Chain A
C-alpha cells in the first residue's frame, strides 16, 4: 500500500530533551515536507526537501532540523524542544512539484512538550 509513515503517533517529552520524528514514504516521491498544525493557525510548513541532500526552510523552521540522506526518509529533529513546539506534526510527500499534484500526508504525530 502506497503510504507515508510517521513514527511515533504520540509523544510526550520534557523541555530540552532531543527527539526525532521519523517519516518514510514508499512511493519513490521526490518531494517531502513537514508541516505543523495548530488550532486557528492551520497547517504551516516547517521544512521541505526537493530530493536527496536538498532541503529548504518553510515558514516556521526555527527550532527544527531535517535531513534527507535517502529518498524515502525525511526525519524531523528537535534538538532542544520547548513547550511552544507542542503541536500536531504531519509529514507529506509528492511525486513531482506539489503545485502539480498536491501532497500526500502521513497519519500525524501529536507532540507534547512539558
Chain B
C-alpha cells in the first residue's frame, strides 16, 4: 500500500462547480498535510496546509482532514479553467518530518 494514495483522474468539472479532490494515507502518525498545485511543465506550488481535524478555508479552497479515517480532501469552489492542473497531496512523517507525496490528481475545469 502506498503511503499516500490519490485517484489519478482525470477529474473533469464544469466551470463554477465544486471540485473535490481526495487523498488517503497509511501512517496514523502523520501530523501535517499539504496540497500542492502543479501546472503542466511547472513546479509544484503550495496552496494549503492542514494540521488539525476539521476544515480549513482559504479563499475558494477548503482543506478537510479526518485523522480517524486517514483521509484529507481539497474542495475548490467556483472552479475556474485556470484551476486546471495536477493536485498533489503530501504528508509529513518520520523523525525528520519530511514530505511524502501522492502521485497527484489531474483536474480539468471545462469552460
Contacts and interface: CB of A to CB of B under 8 A. Distances in A.
A98 B99 contact: yes
Contacts of A105: 43-45
A50 B100 CA distance: 16
A98 to B, nearest CB: 5
A1 interface: no
Contacts of A103: 46, 99
B68 interface: no
B44 A33 contact: no
B104 A42 contact: yes
Interface string B1-44: 00010001000000000000000000000011010100000111
Contact of A90 (B4, B43, B49, B93): B43
Given A43-B44, A106-B43, A98 B98 contact: yes
Interface in A27-72: 33, 35, 40-45, 48, 50, 56, 58-59
Interface residues of A, number: 26
Contact of A43 (B92, B97, B101): B101
Contacts, number: 61
Interface in B69-111: 88, 90, 92-93, 96-104
Contact of B96 (A35, A56, A107): A56
Interface in A75-109: 90, 97-108
Contacts of B31: 99
B46 A104 contact: yes
A43 B88 contact: yes
Interface of A: 33, 35, 40-45, 48, 50, 56, 58-59, 90, 97-108
Given A50-B96, A90-B43, 11 more contacts: A33-B99, A41-B103, A42-B103, A98-B92, A98-B97, A99-B31, A99-B98, A100-B97, A102-B90, A107-B42, A107-B43
